[in-house]
A = this chain, B = another copy of it.
């Protein structure tokens, strides 16, 4: 059964029908379609289009369909073009003629985008919560490894000492921004298209404000043409997902590097590492590589949807059917990745002695320059002097600490014996005590702030949608 055949003298070509059908992927909207249909039935009753009895019959039918979907007992027919037709077809099976009244005053154009918005409103909180879990793991590690010295890098070259706690926390804040974005986009998603009809608004006196409230939306969309055409919320979700992907890729890159034998800072737990079919000794960070790779796929989904939207004339065009798969795929990737990465990070081993050993004394070069600054030398000059000291060391194959004060005076008269203190990495750390710095006290404050950020008021989430800590996808 299609919902539109009578005007046509010939049925759709079978290959064209397959090409046109979205049931292969929009069936994921089943629960949302049932929920929105029930709300629509109530709105039609309120508008006087359905009698209370008709409405109750429809609601009972929809209830059963919802249970069939939940129990995976729903049987699709070959001719179900999309989830909306499938639900209406099944409703007719169950309750007969009154089913034909449900589609009064609505269109698949406002229906499908309502379903997709509902789906996102249901699933974004689950993602948010999986992000919070990952943040929790990072903060937990930061707390334990607050004081573990490690080299900080820029350009992947050793730069200045930091602590592992500081490093873990540096990956918490990007996720915090992600969660803020999710919260804001969820609110923007929460505008109800239903009641916009095909494009010009519903022709029955439906109370859209009440309908919005019934479905948990903040407000009805203000313009019916825009309501059926707008996929900003999906693009915005894909952007947020892509940026989460980028953040995970950067974290993954760090873990992959630190797990190399050359760095040797981290070792993955056996149950979060994989081997080689050929090389028996291999222990590979596959999970982090997949996460890094998937950031590319997520960027591609975003590009794809934006390109689909480009240049579409207003109101509904069928191109918009291509909006759902990228959203589902992006969600699935993250829903699968986040708990796995959380598990892997929670269980990896750290080698503080390797980290400490990687702190070369020339990483304190800027501190040495600061020593001169404290003596009143201008920084630019101090930098130049220490640069020469470093070069001398390289040329003579000597450590910086081996230079005598006399030798240093030859470089600049302002050096004092205190300069040798500045070669100590913990001294270097302690000097960076301003907000956000790597001094232990500053990191401790930061940690407390991070804990508070994780506890940001969680979004309302229907209890059924969760991303399991064990990595199960919803």
Is A213 located at the chain interface by the 8 A CB criterion?
Answer: no
A296 near B289 with CB under 8 A, answer no
Task: Give, as a whole number of angstroms, the nearest-CB distance from A217 to chain B.
Answer: 12
In the complex, chain B residues whose CB is within 8 Å of the CB of A389: 280
Cβ A160 vs Cβ B200 within 8 A: yes
Q: Which 7 A-B pairs have the closest CB atoms?
A: A15-B471, A300-B304, A201-B437, A4-B275, A293-B319, A6-B387, A100-B378
- Copy number of this protein in the oligomer? 4
**Contact indicator B197/A432 (Cβ below 8 Å):** yes
Stretch of A72-80, A149-157, A402-410 on the interface side? A149-157
Q: Which residue of B lies closest to A177 (CB)?
A: B232
Is A370 positioned at the interface, with any CB of B under 8 Å from its CB? yes
Q: Is the interface of A mostly helix, strand, loop or mixed?
A: helix
Set of chain B residues within 8 Å of A19, measured between Cβ atoms: 287, 290, 336-337, 340, 471
The answer for the CA separation of A469 and B291 in the assembled complex, in Å, is 39
18 residue pairs bridging A and B, Cβ less than 8 Å apart: A8-B283, A15-B468, A100-B379, A103-B277, A103-B380, A154-B199, A155-B289, A160-B199, A236-B239, A253-B311, A257-B313, A280-B369, A289-B318, A293-B318, A296-B306, A296-B322, A299-B307, A303-B307
Q: Is B305 touching A300 in the complex (CB atoms < 8 A)?
A: yes
Which of the candidate stretches A28-36, A116-124, A357-365, A454-462 sits at the interface with the other chain?
Answer: A357-365
In the complex, what residues of B have CB within 8 A of residue A362's CB? 281
User: Could you say which of B152, B169, B358 contacts A262, with CB atoms under 8 Å apart?
Assistant: B358
For residue A167, which residue of chain B has the nearest CB?
B225
- When distances are taken between beta carbons in the complex, the residues of chain B under 8 Å from A103 are 277-278, 379-380, 383
Q: Note all chain B residues with C-beta closer than 8 A to A230.
A: 173-174
Closest to A4 in B: B275
Question: Of B263, B326, B339, B446, which is within 8 A of A222 by CB?
Answer: B446
Interface size on A, residues (CB 8 A): 211
A85 contact set on B, CB distance < 8 A: 277
> Complex Cα distance A62/B200, Å?
59
Q: Which B-chain residue is minimally distant from A198 (CB atoms)?
A: B278
Within 8 Å CB of A70, what residues of B? none
**Contact residues, A283-330 vs B (CB, 8 A):** 283-287, 289-290, 292-322, 325-326
CB-contact partner of A373 in B49, B254, B360, under 8 A: B49
**Known contacts A20-B274, A157-B283: A308-B314 contact under CB 8 Å:** no
Residue of A201, A227, A336, A384 contacting most chain B CB atoms (<10 Å) = A201
Most buried by B among A249, A301, A314: A314
Q: Give complex CA distance A253, B341 in Å.
A: 24
Of residues 58 through 101 on chain A, the ones whose CB sits less than 8 Å from some CB of chain B are 84-85, 88, 92, 97-101
Residues of B within 8 A of A281 (CB): 7, 362-363, 365, 386-387, 390
Using Cβ atoms and an 8 Å threshold, which residues of chain B touch A99? 378, 380
Contact B305 A307 (CB under 8 A): no
Q: Which residue of B lies closest to A366 (CB)?
A: B279
CA distance A468 to B297 in the complex (A): 30
User: Do residues A277 and B107 form an inter-chain contact, with CB atoms below 8 A?
Assistant: yes
The reply to whether the CB of A208 lies closer than 8 angstroms to some CB of chain B is yes
Report how far A157 CA is from B204 CA in the complex, Å.
23
